[in-house]
Chains A and B, each alone.
Chain A
Amino acid sequence: MDKSKIKVLVVDDEKDITYFTARILEYDGFTVFQALDGAGALEIFHKERPQICLLDVHLGLSEIDGLDVLKEIRETDKSAECIMITRITDHETQEKAEKMGVKHYLLKPLAMEAWLEKVHEVAGSMKEGSSNG
């Protein structure tokens, strides 16, 4: 599938992570959107309907936390693939996310290029025409 047709939403409350992750994905050919909080993430999700969401579930002071974002994404579009970014110490959040059907996760600190390989793996499993937009 043509990568430029794949929309990726990157959500992290640490703006350098969001911005530079998006930069790498754009260089790699994806169409990328960024959000720093839950409300922004949902606004972009409903407007752009990305097929892949790279979502840090710990959104700091955001009024809508990462799990709420995840829940709404899963309820709106089950075909949207969510890659959850979490910390290994947060078991409760991980269990909740798994119950919501999240199959892919990444741990912080992010390993150098493993996260990009994961996005490629998920993108590679998508079929032409699976775009929601």
Chain B
Amino acid sequence: MANPLTNEKELYDRIRDEHIVVPLLIWDLMYHYLGDDISAITQITLSYWKYDQPIPVEDAKKIMKHTEKITAIIKKILHYERIEAEDQKLDELKDKGAKLHPVIHELFFHYIGNDVHGINMIIGFHLDPVDTHPVPVEDAEKILNKTATMKQFMDRLREATQQEVRLTGEEG
């Protein structure tokens, strides 16, 4: 996991006290795009780690593709003004000028950004063109820890912003 920010408690307190929220459009984008890619990284990694197997090079490359997609969407969420016509959801982000409050911007960049960067570093090391090899089980575990903390961050942020959650069923 990314190291906690030294002022983390203060930032979360500000979110609660000042009733800072994340625009619903951005929540939707985060879950729409990041949800799929974080889940894909988790499932690829888990399917090897769980059975004590290294991740083969071909599948490690798939993880890298998902981290690239996450990085791209983070840039778009943080810098919506640079979005060029792509798809409806992203166009809407640009049209509405939806942007993150600076406090959430800092947390988002720190946690999601650093964890994705961390996964890139792990995979990138093993995919070095000079010495390409499978990702060992201990590094697969580090990747799983990072995807878990990205999910935890999104959950914690949602809780801190006290934004409506209307699901009534049981989540697995």
Contacts and interface: CB of A to CB of B under 8 A. Distances in A.
Interface of A: 14, 16-17, 20-21, 23-24, 27, 58, 83, 87-91, 94-95, 98, 102-115, 117-118, 121
B42 A109 contact: yes
Contacts of B132: none
Contacts of B40: 14, 16-17, 20
Contacts of A112: 42, 46, 144, 147-148
Given A14-B36, A14-B40, A27-B50, A88 B172 contact: no
B169 A89 contact: no
A118 B172 CA distance: 5
A110 B47 contact: no
A115 B42 CA distance: 11
B172 A105 contact: yes
A105 B169 contact: yes
A60 to B, nearest CB: 9
Contacts of A114: 171-172
Contacts of B150: 109
Interface residues of B, number: 35
Contacts of A88: 27, 31, 158, 165, 167
A24 B43 contact: yes
A20 B47 contact: yes
B47 A24 contact: yes
B172 A16 contact: no
A23 B24 CA distance: 35
Interface of B: 24, 27-28, 31-32, 34-36, 38-40, 42-44, 46-47, 50-51, 62, 66, 144, 147-148, 150-151, 154, 158, 165-172
Main secondary structure of the interface of A (DSSP, over half): mixed
A121 B170 CA distance: 12
A103 B172 contact: no
A16 B44 contact: yes
Contacts of B35: 87, 107-109
A110 B31 contact: no
A91 B170 contact: no
A20 B31 contact: no
B89 to A, nearest CB: 12
